[in-house]
Amino acid sequence: MIKSLRPLLLASLLLPLAFSATAAPVNNSLPPNVAQALQKAKLQNTALSLVMIPLNGPGTPTIFNADVSVNPASTMKLVTTYAALEMLGPNHQWKTEFYTDGTLSGGVLHGNLYLKGGGDPKLNMEKLWLLMRDLRANGVQQVTGDLVLDRGFFLQPQLPEFNDDGNDENKPFLVKPDALLVNLKALRFVTRNDSGRVLVSVERRLPASASTTRSRSPTPSNAPVTCATTPSLPLTAA
């Protein structure tokens, strides 16, 4: 990936030099529709930095506030998307898998059931229900052992603690990488009227332990467990 990123980095560094070395005309004003959109949103023109370059055929580049430092915002997604396509490829699929170290007999799984996360960013409650359906389709009706949540797929580097939450530790962008991320770690609240009273229920999220979690109940507890290796017998995958 590093080698493939070098041409892109070199091109980005040489781009300003190319503009200064050529005598082609450059437009330094905003397109009328963009200026109108900013005015409608009650934003100053200085709130936007813009570079538009013709990719095919002749044309006039538009460069506006290109040397002003601004927050890149969602344009950073271009960098992460490029890296994902370069490293994973366009056909990559995330897997969430069940494993067991026991035996299945008469619909009863005698042993532990492992749920191994593979980093699926769109894993939600609906997909988990489908996984449960597939598990039953494979003949598992009861589990006598533990439910073990394995979120050790990601080998996260040791980075300095990020402390820029704006005094709000629940900001969405503060969600850390999680190989078993469910519902983007968001909580779903349901309210209903019960004889004039308002009852509120919430879907409990999966425990956020470091690697795995063990539980004998349908709803996992917060008791950590160490799982040295992944059992070799897969039940189903999605």
For the segment 170-200, what is each residue's pLDDT rounded down to a tens digit?
777 777 788 998 888 887 888 999 888 999 9
**Judgement on whether residues 105 and 193 belong to the same structural domain of the protein:** yes
% of the chain with per-residue pLDDT over 90: 30
List the domain range (segments joined by +) for residue 71: 2-87
Tell whether 83 and 104 lie within a shared domain.
no
Whether 222 contacts 213, CB under 8 Å: yes
As for how many domains the chain has, the answer is 2
15-34 in b/e burial notation, b at 16+ Cβ within 10 A?
eeeeeeeeeeeeeeebeeeb
Token reading at 108: 């009863």
Residues 83 and 162 in one domain: no
Domain termination site, one of 87, 110, 127: 87
Q: Which two tokens stand for residue 68?
A: 């002003």
228: phi then psi, degrees, rounded to nearest 5: -70, -40
Residues 119 and 233 in one domain: yes
pLDDT of res. 91: 94
Per-residue model confidence (pLDDT) at position 83: 94
Cα pseudo-dihedral 61, 64, 69, 73, rounded to 10? -80
pLDDT in tens, 8-35: 444 444 455 444 445 568 889 888 898 8
**Does 220 lie in the same domain as 122?**
yes
- Write down the pTM of the prediction: 0.59
The residues near 120 (Cβ < 8 Å, ≥ 6 apart) are: 94, 95, 96, 127, 181
pLDDT of 214 reads: 44
φ, ψ (nearest 5 deg) of residue 117: -80, 145
Q: Give the closest residue to 38 by CA, choosing from 49, 27, 28, 54.
A: 49
pLDDT in tens, 207-222: 654 334 443 333 333 3
Same-domain check for residues 207 and 149: yes
82 and 124 in a single domain? The answer is no
Domain finish residue from 20, 55, 87: 87
